[in-house]
Structure 1
Amino acid sequence: MLAVTAADHAAPGPRPEGPVAVLANPSAGRGRHRGLLPGVLERLTRVDRPVRLLAAETADRAEQVCRAAVADGIAALVTVGGDGTVHRGLQAVAGTTVPFGVVSTGTGNDFALDTGLPADPLVAAEAVAGALRAGRTHPVDLARMTGPAGATRWYATVLAAGFDAIVNERANRMRYPRGPRRYDLAILVELARLRPRRYTLRLDGEPLELDAVLVAVGNCASYGGGMRICPDADQTDGLLDVVVGGRFDRRTLVRVKPSIYRGTHVRHPLVSSHRARTVELAAEGITTYADGERALDLPLTVTAVPGALRLLR
């Protein structure tokens, strides 16, 4: 895990004549859009600027090359991949004036879904190119999380800090089976171990202690490929939506889970919703996941940062 500090964002502004940097993940979406990258790059070249494809063998390296590109004075950063690729690019452009474009080729693409970006990769590339030509960006909020030692990460969609994060952590430790079945097996294992945990929250300074199996802090509404866990979240309102699933037992949690795709789970009596600019969150033994990527251990603080991203659309 690579920590980012405020100093990393003391970068120069974009150079309009500079290159368009592209961070591409060919394995996103299980590689089903791998062959579209040349077409995406061709559409981006229509803005009459050089296009620079960034080389990165690992996720940490992806963040490093993105930050280096921003420091070099690029005209924009474009990610081609899923929410994980977006997450890596955000660490370089969050809090700067460098425009950010998204071409979604992942499995879930929740950021694109919630911000109204085109689902088709080639259409999305044309939209990014058009926005660049017109000099058009839209301000979008981001969430900034900070750990007790000062480590900082940014995210765009949802921070998972409960059962969903625990499942991800187990799935990532498993060597077998591969593919989606590993995640399914991790769910079964963690359902058998399900127990409420004691959480301590402070919402804009107001303390709240409760037992829960799920806590999500949303800048956007969706995670996990269209699960509307924070259905009322708005990435332009300067606020975070906090959804808490209380003392669920296994049977009730399984029964409620399908309603998350519709966002109607918030009507369940064991679910509570809150809204705040700053969320302090603590619990024992939880490693959080943000934009589907492994993030910081609890405790941490999440802050809504209005207009922290200049989105090309």
Structure 2
Amino acid sequence: MSDSNTTDFTNPSFFILLGIPGLEAAHVWISIPFCAMYAIAVLGNFTILLIVRMEQSLHAPMYYFLCMLAVIDLVLSTTTLPKMLSIFWFNSREIEFSACLTQLYFIHCFAVMESGIFVALALDRYVAICDPLRYSTILTNTVVAKFGLAVLLRGVLLLLPHPFLARRWLYCRTNVIAHTYCEHLAVVKLACSDILLSSYYGLFVTFLVNGPDMSFITFSYTQILRAIFSLPTKEARLKTFGTCGSHLCVILAFYIPALFSFLTHRFGHNVPLHVHIITANMYLLVPPMLNPIIYGVRTKQIRDRLLQLFTHKGS
């Protein structure tokens, strides 16, 4: 393994993940908040799935979207955190070539799905607040199922070329990835082949997904804010504004680190590596932790059902 980062090999059987270069001495300490966020994400998202399944009154469009989001968050965080913690705790840095490409695919595929569900939730809130009388006729179970299928297929199909292109390139310089997980550009930049196709396709996917999604979310919440300020009472305005404001914070916590990581790979050569890697982990950790709290526990029906469960157990 001592020669694994030299130029005497092609297409290594494994890669070495460095974790957070420059902060190796603090890996154990960094793992504590990361592990806590993962535990909250797993517990929170499983709780959302359990409550919606048990409570018949929650079998409605918004809660179906929440369940989709919970499943995506569980996959997204579980794809990266266990391996990341094994690096921090046990210095287990090796990851097989195929496993690395599989992780790469799942991370980006489910990140695209998460973006799609944020659009769905923005649509749900837009209809509920701006056109409440037509809510049940616009967002039927059929529409929800079709939207969910479209989000799934978009993620699966759009990201399918990533691992296949990455497998095509020759890796003859190094097998050391300066990251905590197999991020697309972090992997293909190790190739000694011309990776322009991978790079351009990554740009294409980013603009095709983030551009329309962020535009629709911005439009929806602009219309929602206009509707909020036309509400008759100050209490109603503050309550609705607080809910939508917290939704926007979670959405920004996903898009800003994701775009920062994407742009840093291409243009941020002066950004310290540890800053880039920590930020790149935020959009895989923070939204899965916050989503069940902001979209779930802060929703009255789920909160009441959760309190009811704990009350029955306590008695």
TM-score after normalising by structure 1: 0.25
- Larger of the two Rg values belongs to structure: 2
The structure richer in strand per residue is: 1
The structure richer in helix per residue is: 2
TM-score after normalising by structure 2: 0.25
Higher relative contact order (CA closer than 8 Å, sequence separation 6+)? 2
